[in-house]
Amino acid sequence: MPALVDLIYELADYEKARDECTVTAEQLHAALFGPLPKVFAHVVADETGPLGCAIWFLNFSTWDGVHGIYLEDLYVKPETRGKGYGKALLAALAKEAVDNGYSRVAWSVLTWNKPSIDFYESIGAVAQHDWIGYRLTGTALDALADEAR
């Protein structure tokens, strides 16, 4: 767990959002290995240890009527990029989706992350330009939750 958490923090650094990352090894272990796991991970490693990870969960398409995979994090250590590890992680998720009858693998990428965008497009992924991601957190989340009470 500590090595996987380290990869998550490295990704947060890369995305210029380290101060937003607060996950602990205990939290991640509970999410991945608790009684009813809702989060899953694939890890690529060599004899030196973990080199990258794909952390994901199931979503559901009301249009297709089946589950899909939402890739929360894909990260490969910078010094090992270009060796096929990211593609191998995505291929494993594609296989997971196909083997289970899921209709898609989806994810988000920061608009400034051109190397990742180029990589995703090279494997046939298509940007969803008509969609804008939204997030409700912190005090705004609390305030809206209070309206339901």
CB-side neighbour CA atoms (13 Å) of 1? 11
Does residue 149 carry a pLDDT above 90?
no
Domains of the chain, first to last: 2-147 (3.40.630.30)
pLDDT mean over 67-96? 97
Region 88-115: mean pLDDT is: 96
Q: Using DSSP bridges, classify how beta strands 105-107 and 40-46 pair: parallel, antiparallel or unpaired.
A: unpaired
Paired tokens of 63? 């249009």
- Span 106-112, average pLDDT: 95
Tokens encoding 17 = 């959002």
CB 109 within 8 A of CB 125: no
Q: How confident is the model at residue 82 (pLDDT cuts 50, 70, 90)?
A: very high
8 Å CB contact between 109 and 117: yes
pLDDT at 8 over 90: yes
Model confidence band, residue 112 (pLDDT cutoffs 50, 70, 90): very high
State pTM to two decimals: 0.93
Sign of CA dihedral 8, 9, 11, 15: positive
Q: What is the pLDDT of residues 33-64, one digit of tens each?
A: 999 999 999 999 999 999 999 999 999 999 99
* Catalytic residue positions, numbered: 120
pLDDT digits (tens, 9 = 90+) for 126-144: 999 999 889 999 999 999 9
Q: Which residue has the tokens 């890369």?
A: 14
Beta bridge partners of 23: none
Q: Which pLDDT belongs to residue 119?
A: 95
How big, in percent rounded to 5, are the helix, strand and coil portions of the chain?
40, 25, 35
